[in-house]
Structure 1
Amino acid sequence: MIVCKFGGSSVADAKQIQKVKSIVDAQVQRQIVIVSAPGKRSKDDEKVTDMLYACNALVQQGQSCRELFKKVAQRYTNILVDLGMDQKSFLPVLEEVRQMIDAGHGAEYAASRGEYLSARLVAAYFGWNFLDTDPLIVIKDDGTVHDQTYENLKKALHKGKKYIVPGFYGCNTEGKVKTFSRGGSDITGAIMARACDADIYENWTDVSGVFSVDPRLVEDAKVIKTMTYREVRELAGVGAGVFHEEAIAPVIASRIPINVKNTNAPMDAGTMIVTDRPVNGQPLAGVSAKKGYSRLTLRKLMLFKGTGIRHALLTMLHIFGVRPAFSLFGVDSIVWFFETSQASESVLNAMCVRIKSEFSLDSIEVDHGHAVVGIVGVGVLQEPDLIAKSTSALAKDGIKLNFFNYGSSDTSILLGVDAEQAQDAVKSLYHALF
């Protein structure tokens, strides 16, 4: 049994969907297919999901989304026409979705309909069974998958039948439509792979695997042939965008391999993601960077003499909506990096005033414009000259290093740089290490 997920670019138009069918038909074991909403057909095109979010925004402002939704409907009807399919049976489905959005069913419902409509269309084209994820995949408040999900799916899936499944959404514990984070169709695919104990989970996209560095930055970037679950998760955590970092969780316990492949070049081997891999002279997998971080620095003499001080401080941050992603600790100081989008300047100012007062800090400061660069690979701790090579390369290229985190993970090394130098740092490290 092979479970396949096809991303937005793979179902962007009729020609792409025809490619999908050819790929699926080429291997009889491909029996469950997860699809995303139609993506961009060209650089200047709009994603269907973005238009659906805009439809909901209009409704929240007290307006109808009728006119904007016509553009959404046109995307699907164009595909139907180009595939030589009848539009008439699909028009009531489109109208029902429009009415539900206009009735105020919310952002998550609206956004989920891109995948819903895509799956309905592809199922009709393939002549396969459409399986809705709304009542089956249960998503908890924290975005993780409820264990009930797998029991639901095992009951719904019947041996010998073939299914088209919408990605990106399920329902919450109260039965209301709930979405994963953007790119969450990868997670749906992993859930389906685990539910049916698949031999392999194929993740089809518009590139021939996971690259060791962003090919937009380095012209001769290489595709990683084999990497581990931990490597792909940590690489995704610092900005590599080919595979959703949370999609590893459902398959890791079942040790189901993931093959990232290219819909437009199906014969390319792609990247195989597995439990373990031998180093064999390839200790590193890739290097990537993620911008958009702010730095919170707290200082107080004898800071850690108080019991539970870190927990208390984090609780206060959470009250203000700040959830740090990376941490550094000094003798009398804490430095936390968090996504800048989590809080406005006024909220941060109020937070700093309250924390300084309640914890009698000597100082507390927030500054913006930071990026985190990750050097990822199962052999990072086995390379004795890796630190020297990394820091020397950055110094040679005039890139200021704000922090260096070595040893907290046996699969990655993290470096902090100014956001404006993030891309230069990635290129510098790649040429020095790879």
Structure 2
Amino acid sequence: MKVVKFGGSSLASAQQFQKVGKIITDDSDRRIVIVSAPGKRYDDDIKMTDLLISLAKSVTEETYNPRSLQLVMDRYEEIISELNLDKSLVETIRDGLIDLIEEYQQDEDRLMDALKASGENNNAKVMAAYLSSLGMEASYVSPKEAGMVVTNEPGNARILPEAYEKIASLRDREGILVIPGFFGYSKQGHIVTFPRGGSDITGSIIAAGVEADEYENFTDVDSIYSVNPNLVNNPREIKELTYREMRELAYSGFSVFHDEALQPVVSKGVPVCVKNTNHPEAPGTRIVGSRTVNGYPVVGIASDKGFCSINITKYLMNREVGFGRHLLEILEDEHISYEHTPSGIDNMSVIVRENQLENGNEEKILQRIRNELLVDDVQVEKDLAMVMVVGEGMAKTVGIASKATTALMEAGINIKMINQGSSEVSMMFGVDADQVDQAVTSLYHAFF
């Protein structure tokens, strides 16, 4: 039994729906289908989710912008018409959107969550209707019916442990089940969306809950590549990588499969296969618990911008019991999460996302560090990027760090910091953001 998820580009138009229908009919094991909202049909197009965000922002206490609603409906009408589905589905979608606006008109956060989630929800209804029109036994299953019980924080849902028992019962249902991705329902009955990559997260949760034999994630590329293909011509395709490798690469900027989506399938050991809707016969990339390292010790190189470093200096810091705990408590109090903490004897750096220090947070945190930790100096270094060299084979290969630093030196790139976890699956280099693409390409050519 397979759980299969289709991303926004796979469902952007009626033509894409037809490709998805063939993929599902070609393999009877594909019994649970997770769908995203319609994505872009062409480069300058607007994603359905962005249209829905505009609609939500247009809502006032009295009304909403009819033009914003019509732009949403135009996309669905086009798909439904070209697939020759019953026109009543259009009115069902319109009525549902108006009901959501009326229900959450006075609550901006809930309204935004509900309307964003409607992109996936309505697309699932269209997909179920289309599969039925092809003669398949297919049914739409709402996340509430599927058992997707989540925490109650708008835009940041987390699945609750008790959800998995009800999700498991989906195995016993007949036919093809079409479930919208991206959201669940809180115990209070509210629609709550997951963070970025929410449909990936839904697919992973459902795959783990039903203990699927495989979770297929269909997107618009043949496989995951060892580096961003926009930076390197004809980059090496990755045929297989481990959960840990994928987690590191996804965290560092690989957008093909989001890092938060891995945890559920890891816990149940469900293998993932990333495939291309437009080229489904390609083998894709498998993500598994363990693999044999053959040839390359490094599997991929990724990068992400938007970081800054809080650099702290205090003489005899290493003798001060509880210094690190107190520093991290300050960040916790101010709701700041950290990424890395490289340190020396008398100094310590905390890498955080730069946007977390906006709206006065930077001044508040620096003042608390000065007053509570009595440091000699504290400064914030901005416009940093993190480059990750990732591979299970690195731990047993001599000279990885030497090869990486030599490549960066020859490219004229100054390394601001280096950090490596105890697992030795990844090595992080901090560089200036304006040099990050050059850093990635130099490392790619060094290792591949």
> Under a length normalisation based on structure 2, what TM-score does the superposition of the two structures give?
0.93
Counterpart residue number, 1:47:
47
Cα distance 1:298–1:112, how it changes in 2: closer, same or farther (>3 A)? same
> What SS class does the counterpart of residue 331 from structure 1 fall into?
coil
Q: Does 1:126 align with 2:136?
A: no
Q: Does 1:138 align with 2:131?
A: no
Q: Distance in 2 between matches of 1:172 and 1:304?
A: 45
Q: What aligned pairs does 1:208-357 form with structure 2 within 5 A after superposition?
A: 208-344=222-358, 346-357=360-371
**Deviation string, structure 1 residues 6-36 (Cα, Å, up to 9, x no partner):** 0000000000000000001001111110000
Aligned residues: 434
The answer (yes or no) to whether the contact 2:23–2:280 under 8 Å persists in 1 is yes
Q: Does 1:2 align with 2:16?
A: no
Q: Distance in 2 between matches of 1:56 and 1:157?
A: 36
Q: CA deviation at 1:176?
A: 1.4
Q: CA deviation at 1:62?
A: 6.8
The answer (yes or no) to whether the contact 1:317–1:323 under 8 Å persists in 2 is yes
Comparing 85-94 and 385-394, the one that deviates more? 85-94
Counterpart residue number, 2:112:
107
Which amino acid in structure 2 is aligned with residue 38 of structure 1?
P
Q: Distance in 1 between matches of 2:405 and 2:168?
A: 51
Q: CA deviation at 1:282?
A: 2.6
Q: Distance in 2 between matches of 1:383 and 1:155?
A: 46
The answer (yes or no) to whether the contact 1:378–1:410 under 8 Å persists in 2 is yes
Q: Distance in 2 between matches of 1:173 and 1:313?
A: 35
**Deviation string, structure 1 residues 284-306 (Cα, Å, up to 9, x no partner):** 11001000101111111222434
Counterpart residue number, 1:158:
172
The answer (yes or no) to whether the contact 1:51–1:72 under 8 Å persists in 2 is yes
Q: CA deviation at 1:266?
A: 0.6
**Deviation string, structure 1 residues 61-84 (Cα, Å, up to 9, x no partner):** 875143201101110110001111
Counterpart residue number, 2:74:
74
Counterpart residue number, 2:220:
206
Cα distance 1:381–1:107, how it changes in 2: closer, same or farther (>3 A)? same
Counterpart residue number, 1:93:
93
Q: CA deviation at 1:125?
A: 0.8
Gaps of 5+ in 1: none
The answer (yes or no) to whether the contact 1:261–1:268 under 8 Å persists in 2 is yes
Q: Distance in 1 between matches of 2:337 and 2:62?
A: 33
Q: Distance in 1 between matches of 2:139 and 2:409?
A: 58
Q: CA deviation at 1:157?
A: 4.8
The answer (yes or no) to whether the contact 1:288–1:373 under 8 Å persists in 2 is yes
Which amino acid in structure 1 is aligned with residue 335 of structure 2?
G
Q: CA deviation at 1:60?
A: 5.9
> What SS class does the counterpart of residue 380 from structure 2 fall into?
strand
The answer (yes or no) to whether the contact 2:169–2:210 under 8 Å persists in 1 is no
The answer (yes or no) to whether the contact 1:380–1:413 under 8 Å persists in 2 is no
Gaps of 5+ in 2: 133-137
> What SS class does the counterpart of residue 241 from structure 1 fall into?
coil
Q: Give the CA RMSD over aligned residues.
A: 1.7
**Deviation string, structure 1 residues 234-264 (Cα, Å, up to 9, x no partner):** 1111111100111111111221111100000
Q: Distance in 2 between matches of 1:62 and 1:375?
A: 53
> What SS class does the counterpart of residue 232 from structure 1 fall into?
helix
**Candidates 424, 432, 435, aligned match of 1:421:** 435
The answer (yes or no) to whether the contact 2:32–2:179 under 8 Å persists in 1 is yes
Comparing 55-64 and 376-385, the one that deviates more? 55-64
